[in-house]
Each structure stands twice: as structure tokens, then as C-alpha cells.
Amino acid sequence: MMSYARTLLPAAALLAACNPQSGAVAQDSGAQDGRPFSVTEVAEFVSPWAMTFLPDGRMLITEKAGAMLLVSPDGKTRAAVSGIPAVSSAGQGALMDVVLHPEFARNHWVYFSYSEARADGLKGVVLARGTLSDSSSPSLQNVETLFRADPYVEGNGHFSGRILFAPDGHLFFTNGDRQKFTPAQDPKATLGKVLRLNEDGTAAKGNPLAAKGFHPAAWTYGNRNLLGIAFDPKGNLWEVEMGPKGGDEVNLIKPGVNYGWPNASNGSHYDGKDIPDHAPGDGYQAPKIWWNPSISPGDLIVYSGKAFPEWRGDILIAALSGKALIRIELNGTDANKADQWDMGARIREVEQGPDGAVWLLEDGRKGRLLKLMPKR
């Protein structure tokens, strides 16, 4: 996901480990008619989850089972980054998001999230950071746990784990409801909430719900499975989350607000039981956009590059079950569906490259890294 932490900065030398199975393969064909971009296959990974760009154009890419890879811009070379803690990757568990600290040039901090299992079998999502040692055998050193979801629970779903640095230096971290429903409304739990932290993982001062008895890190509540979060150029904070059977949402995130889950949703339970739709006066913030049937959003960015000037300031969403890249037009605090381009595969991640190209990660054991550029 794109964040303020991903501003390009000076970087270290190129890596040397070779991967003969990867390399750029153009995918421009007649099947792309109607799409305003060409698609180039750059590399292939085993269930990739997230990516971020280093200052020299290389990428850090996470894979579900627990690998973090340092990859050259052309995808031809890669090296495993050592120092990653043990990951519980069953179900929706994974080594998840990865972002750079805004002052990466000075401190070399890499922030990442992952799901872990305790000795008692209960599981939760973790926010961690380490110092990137950049060499032919890269590693994360001095890895420290900054925050753990509370409480840990049984099951393998809805960890969320997206990370975003705000312009003021605070850090937003998403905690899913873990498919337990009621914790999203529980003031003491961090589950089903957007959290606002300091860079060291402590709760930020001034969080609006603390005075109401909530966990001090809580920024919003009543959320479900929050898989994308980004600021627009005007400072509005946008979030995308998976609904139940239908009801996937794009939300304008406002401090202290209740987004309704599980008491209100524009979808239904998987067994067909109804959930009350969002309605005026119900006490919950309705989404700006929703989908029924589901698209299963996996990520969200607000585009700001030069390659697609007509998209600047708009949201791009990676869709899993929807197998699409989706564009949402923003007009202040209003949002409208614009385009939905069929990508023919489940899309887990969308990212903006240093040249304004749009990069996608496909979901699955042969998930491709794709680069999108305007058709000429």
C-alpha cells in the first residue's frame, strides 16, 4: 500500500543474489483492449502479500508464509531478508504489510506486520520494526515488537495489519475483528478498529476515544477486516474493508466514529441471515461506497504519480474475488465508482512506483508482480 512512509530517499548498493526464474515478460495483447494501460509481468512469487519501494527502485516484498524478499527493479534478482520472526500463516495469517519509516535514509527502519500464535494457541496480529542491513545477504537487525492486538483469540481470520504513516509522523495500524463480531464494538479490545500510535508503538496522545474508556490506541471502531488505508492530498483518511456476504466498504475515516460492524452492514451473514443496512439516524457512520456482491478488496492507495495524470487524487483498489483493479473518483469527502478493469486473477496489492507506474501483486502460489503503464 502506498503511504507517506514510502517517499523515495537515498539508498544503498544493489543486491547481488540471482533468480534465473524471474524476468520481465511483456503481457501486451488484444485481451487488454478497453484498458488504458499495458501490463508487464516482472516476476513471480509464492503467495505475495505486500510490497514497498526502496529509494533506488528496489522493492521489499512479503510472502504469506513468512519470507521477505529484496527484489531488483526488473525482478531479475532477489535475496531473502533474514531476521523475520516466526509467522503463523494458517488461513488468513501471513507476513503482511511492509513500509519504510519516513526518515528511512537516517534510521533504516522497516515496519512490518505479521500474525503469530502464542504457546496456548491463541493468535493475533503484531506490529514490528527492524533496521535494514543492506548487502548481498540482507537482514533486519534489532527487530522489536511495537504493538500486539488485544486480545489474542482462536481462529485464522481477519487479522488486517495495514500500516500507514501520517504526515504528522503518527502511525495508523488496522486490527481486524478476527471473525469474532462483537470485539469491534468492545471499548477495551483493539479488534475491529483503526489504531493511532506513535512510531514506537505506544498509543498516541489525543486519541478521541480514550476519555470514553476505550483502549487508548483506538481511533475508530465498528470496523471488520480493514485491508487498505491511505491519505488523499487534502489530508482525508480513506479505508477499505471486506464486508460479510456483500457489503464491502470504502470509508472516510473520522476520529472517534463508530462504523457499525457487526450491528450494521450493507451485506448479509454467510448463512443468509440479515444484518440491518446502514440507515440515517442509526448512530453509525455509513460507507461512502459499498459493493454487493463482494469484490473482496485487498488493498487501497491514493494515486499521486505522473504516469496517469487523469488518476491523480483518486483511489485505486486491488480486488481479490473481483479479480480487478478498481478506480474510485474522489471529490473532497465524496467518492464515486469510476472504472473496474478485469485483471483475470485475484489482486492482493496495489502500489505506486517511483516513476508513477502502478504495480500489482497477484494472490496465490504463483502470484505475479505486474507493472502497469499507459498505453502509447
CATH of residue 100's domain is: 2.120.10.30
Selecting among 101, 158, 215, 278, the annotated active-site residue is 158
Place of cell 480487478: 324
Residue 27: per-residue pLDDT = 54
144 vs 117: CA distance, rounded Å: 17
Q: How many domains does the chain have?
A: 1
Residue 174 lies in a domain: yes
Residue 10: per-residue pLDDT = 30
This prediction's pTM: 0.92
Residue 329 lies in a domain: no
Residue 159 lies in a domain: yes
Residue 138 lies in a domain: yes
Residue 371 lies in a domain: no
Tell me which residue range forms the domain holding 164: 4-18+44-296
Residue 212 lies in a domain: yes
Per-residue pLDDT of the chain in tens (376 residues, 90 and over written 9): 433 333 333 333 333 333 333 444 445 543 446 899 999 999 999 999 999 999 999 999 999 999 999 999 999 999 999 999 999 999 999 999 999 999 999 999 999 999 999 999 999 999 999 999 998 899 999 999 999 999 999 999 999 999 999 999 999 999 999 999 999 999 999 999 999 999 999 999 999 999 999 999 999 999 999 999 999 999 999 999 999 999 999 999 999 999 999 999 999 999 999 999 999 999 999 999 999 999 999 999 999 999 999 999 999 999 999 999 999 999 999 999 999 999 999 999 999 999 999 999 999 999 999 999 999 8
Residue 309 lies in a domain: no
Clarify whether 215 is annotated catalytic.
no
Q: How far is CA 82 from the centre of its chain?
A: 22
Residue 334 lies in a domain: no
